[in-house]
Amino acid sequence: MTNQPNLTQHLINQIRDVSPLILSIQKRSSTFIRSDDNGLESDIFEHKCSAVMIQRNLVLTAAHCFDDGNRDIRLQSSYGELTVLSIGIHNQYHRKDLIDDYWKYVYDIHIENDYALIKIAEHTQLIAELNTLSLGTNPTTTSSPTSGALYVMGYGQVANIFGMGEGEGQLRISGPLAVSQQQGLRLEIRHNVKGACQGDSGGPLLSFSDHYIWLLGTVSQGDCNTFSRYQVLSQTVFDLNNFRWSK
């Protein structure tokens, strides 16, 4: 597994348990189409962001994944495509790109409340996976997730484990990671191993204990080798009234 030379068998088993709940958000490519042997053409969907199933009909991801809209979106699991019913963006989501005045390029991005929820039609096999896990938020750790080893999972760069099929990329895990700085519901990790990469946005920040898998936050930004930023979960994330919903 990626960057994981010393994983215990217990941790490997936990990673395999949680992996079906990590999903791939894909967007229809405007550039490519695929032709089969009969010359019939079909659209190609490219991986855009990661996500995690948190309830039997609810998926958590990052709001900035929908900055360019939510049309032509597909949600893929290891069991196949899921039916998307609606997408909600947190009411207080805010993004500000910091621009270099001389060079005119984005040198940093300031994001707050980077949460989005996706309502899906219930999927029997995934619900069974969810019911076998103790996946949830740890109130103590969530308020200050600075102790213990943290791991990030997603379908970003550096593909490795748990493939989902052609075009969908590979699920990977990175860590152990340790928090460098926390400000409110945003935290930053400076990497000494490969961390969150492009395409991991919306994927879960996890902590593994002997009996539980804690979901602490979601990936907001990451450049693999230097740093990554996360949105820590708060109770407002689970209040559907705090989101603007659309298909």
The ranges assigned to domains in the chain are 9-246
**pTM score of the predicted model:** 0.82
| Mean per-residue pLDDT of the chain | 78
How confident is the model at residue 58, as a pLDDT? 93
Higher pLDDT, 198 or 191: 198
Higher pLDDT, 208 or 143: 208
How confident is the model at residue 90, as a pLDDT? 93
How confident is the model at residue 57, as a pLDDT? 92
How confident is the model at residue 174, as a pLDDT? 82
**Residue 128 to residue 217: CA distance in whole angstroms:** 23
**Which CATH code for domain 9-246?**
2.40.10.120
